[in-house]
Structure 1
Amino acid sequence: MSHIEPDPHDHAPGDEPEESAGHWIRNSNLGLGFSVILTVAAFWAVGTHLIWAPAVPVALVVLAIAQMGVHLVFFLHVTTGPDNTNNVLALAFGVLVVFLIVAGSLWIMNNLNHNMMPMDPVHLMQMQP
């Protein structure tokens, strides 16, 4: 079996094999450009009437996920390379914890709302001094 050497120019956008300052500045500026474009697109999506009104929140969620991806790759340099396995696992665990906290809080608030005693206007009037 032959061993295939990896191509030194084959890498993810945030994975920096080179240590030259120009390479770092170019990738940072590219990430900044993508971030600005996504931010402007979010403001445009809210301010325009070209998008169907109920679809605006979906468009904002998609743009927010894209924005997170740009930040992870270009600024935090989180890639799926073999040396970043722990970073990806830590990120996945953090996302899981945040999801569990948000979903659990919504579940608890829904359960509390469902189990509250109904208040009719007669009882509200009697409670007032």
Structure 2
Amino acid sequence: MSGLEYDPHLYSGELNHREDHAPGDEPEESAGHWVRNSNLGLGFSVVLTVAAFLLAGSHLIYEPAIPVALIVLAIAQMGVHLVFFLHVTTGPDNTNNVLALAFGILVVFLIVAGSIWIMNHLNHNMMPMEQLIQMQR
């Protein structure tokens, strides 16, 4: 057998870190890894939820800054859920998931921004209510 025909790293049917994998074809991880990640995500979620309730119900920070702090905590909560529970990461096997998430966020943004824009123009172009009532009499 020539040296070109022999490959010591020929595919053996077992998954290892050197081989390219299709999405969903990753090596299985131990159950302890999944439990640890779920518990860690649960812990982060509980801490962020308790922090949001404490900030909203106390005077720990300057009152006009409370909505900004709650928005920051909400975004952090979404990140925890995406990473620990939905397993959306930036790995090469999650490219489609990240793109689908980005597209979903774009669609929601366009719907919300478009609705606000339309309502603003309607409010600007509508006749005042007093004039509308006088016209009906």
TM-score range, shorter chain: 0.7 to 0.9
Distance 1:123 1:34 in 2: 53
Report what 1:62 is aligned to. 72
Counterparts of 2:117 and 2:83, CA distance in 1? 33
Aligned match of 2:102: 92
Match of 1:50 in 2: 60
Q: Distance in 1 between matches of 2:64 and 2:82?
A: 29
The answer for unaligned runs of 5 or more in structure 1 is 1-5, 7-15
Query: In the alignment, does 2:97 pair up with 1:81?
Result: no
Encode CA deviations 1:17-66: one digit per residue, 9 max, x unaligned.
Answer: 65111110000000000000000011011001121111111001000000
Percent of paired sites with the same residue: 81
State how far apart, in whole Å, the 2-side matches of 1:103 and 1:82 are.
32
Question: Aligned in 2, Cα 1:17/1:33: closer, same or farther, shift over 3 Å?
Answer: farther
Q: Structure 1 segments of 4 or more deviating over 3 A?
A: 122-128
Taking structure 1 as reference, are residues 123 and 19 closer, same or farther at Cα in structure 2, changes over 3 Å only? closer
TM-score normalized by the length of structure 1: 0.80
Which residue is 1:10 aligned to?
Answer: none
Cα deviation per residue 1:75-94 (whole Å; 9 max; x = unaligned)? 00000001101100000000
Q: CA–CA distance in 2 between the matches of 1:126 and 1:78?
A: 57
Provide the aligned length of Structure 1 versus Structure 2. 113
Q: CA RMSD in A?
A: 2.1
Which has the larger Rg? 2
Q: Which of 16, 31, 34 is equivalent to 1:24?
A: 34
